[in-house]
Amino acid sequence: MNMRTLFIADLHLNEHHRHITDALFSFLDKEANNAETLYILGDMFEVWIGDDEHTALMDEVAHKLTSYSQKNKTQIFYLHGNRDFMLGKRYAKQASMTLLPEHTEIDLYGMKTLILHGDTLCLADKNYQRMRKVIHNPFIQAIFNCLPLSIRKRIGWKIRTASQSKKVYKNSEMMGVTEQEVQRLMQKHQVQRLIHGHTHQAFVHNFTVNKQPAQRYDVGDWYHNLSYVDVTPEGIELVIRPIDYYHSKI
């Protein structure tokens, strides 16, 4: 196996956009089949209301990830996003994924790197940050998990619908990353590289931290294009391709 690590985020898989699921499966078979590690930086699913929900899509994705991991001996790590923060150990085990803390330091071939979903970087969206504190409270989550599955489904989709409608009224500054928070986190963790998702804007940002060159890799989403960060001992690259790229190669 090659020394290669891949990062993806924000696929928002759901039953109504089958082409994204197909793109993920093709990516695993044709691009990621020689990776030693795959990091999924949150929001793999459009909405997640509990590990006790079972849909054909959830089971299919779990089976594919497990098959991929076993066949290629690839480790899969998962960071929660803002849509799937309730994804738990049961499903992670089913999908052969290891759950990671929301801010995780890793060693990428000698380069200390901070990885996260990215929603904690968007401090200008104060309403979301207030809501995030509530829904990430373990006591609130315990109460939510005690509700019947049917009620949790309704709540989950109402939150999703409200989130999508509010995006129309939020400007790019509010939805974007707060640079002061980037600086604070990178100084706290003593890193010069950060990799995240959430903003859906695939881009490489170059700047300085502690008077040293630094980089922030925004992985991007999988709506019209697929994107991933590809890291080897030789370097790092943000790759953007059409969502049907691997199908067009058949």
Please give the structure tokens belonging to residue 37: 């590690």
pLDDT of amino acid 97:
98
pLDDT digits (tens, 9 = 90+) for 112-141: 999 999 999 999 888 877 877 777 777 777
User: Is pLDDT at 161 greater than 80 in this prediction?
Assistant: no
Pick the closest to residue 24 from 221, 160, 195, 217 (CA basis): 221
1 or 62: which leads in pLDDT: 62
User: Is pLDDT at 43 greater than 50 in this prediction?
Assistant: yes
Rounding to the nearest 10 degrees, give the CA dihedral for residues 16, 20, 26, 27.
-150
Place of tokens 């695993």: 28
Rounded Cα distance between 102 and 99, Å, is 9
In our burial notation (b when 16+ CB lie closer than 10 A, e otherwise), range 165-174 reads: eeeeeeeeeb
Rounded Cα distance between 86 and 38, Å, is 21
Sign of CA dihedral 80, 81, 82, 86: negative
| Phi (first) and psi of residue 66, to 5 degrees | -65, -45
In our burial notation (b when 16+ CB lie closer than 10 A, e otherwise), range 231-241 reads: beeeebebbee
pLDDT of amino acid 58:
94
Average pLDDT score over residue span 65-82: 96
For residue 22, give the DSSP letter: H
- Amino acid (1-letter code) at residue 207: F
187 or 250: which leads in pLDDT: 187
How many CB atoms within 10 Å of residue 1?
11
Average pLDDT score over residue span 103-110: 97
pLDDT of amino acid 216:
98
Average pLDDT score over residue span 40-47: 93
- Name the band, by pLDDT with cuts 50, 70 and 90, for residue 166: very low
User: Is pLDDT at 240 greater than 80 in this prediction?
Assistant: yes
pLDDT of amino acid 165:
44
User: Is pLDDT at 95 greater than 60 in this prediction?
Assistant: yes
Rounded Cα distance between 179 and 121, Å, is 8
pLDDT of amino acid 67:
98
**SS3 state at 189:** helix
pLDDT of amino acid 175:
59
Place of tokens 């990178």: 186
Average pLDDT score over residue span 142-155: 71
pLDDT of amino acid 249:
62
User: Is pLDDT at 226 greater than 90 in this prediction?
Assistant: yes
Rounded Cα distance between 60 and 231, Å, is 28
Spatial contact of 42 and 86, defined as CB atoms under 8 Å apart: no
Average pLDDT score over residue span 43-52: 84
Strands, DSSP E only, in the chain?
Answer: 5-8, 37-40, 75-78, 97-99, 103-108, 111-116, 193-196, 203-209, 212-218, 225-232, 235-242
pLDDT of amino acid 169:
42
Average pLDDT score over residue span 106-111: 97
Mean pLDDT of the chain: 88
- Name the band, by pLDDT with cuts 50, 70 and 90, for residue 168: very low
pLDDT of amino acid 53:
76
187 or 131: which leads in pLDDT: 187
Q: For the chain, what is the radius of gyration of the CA atoms?
A: 18
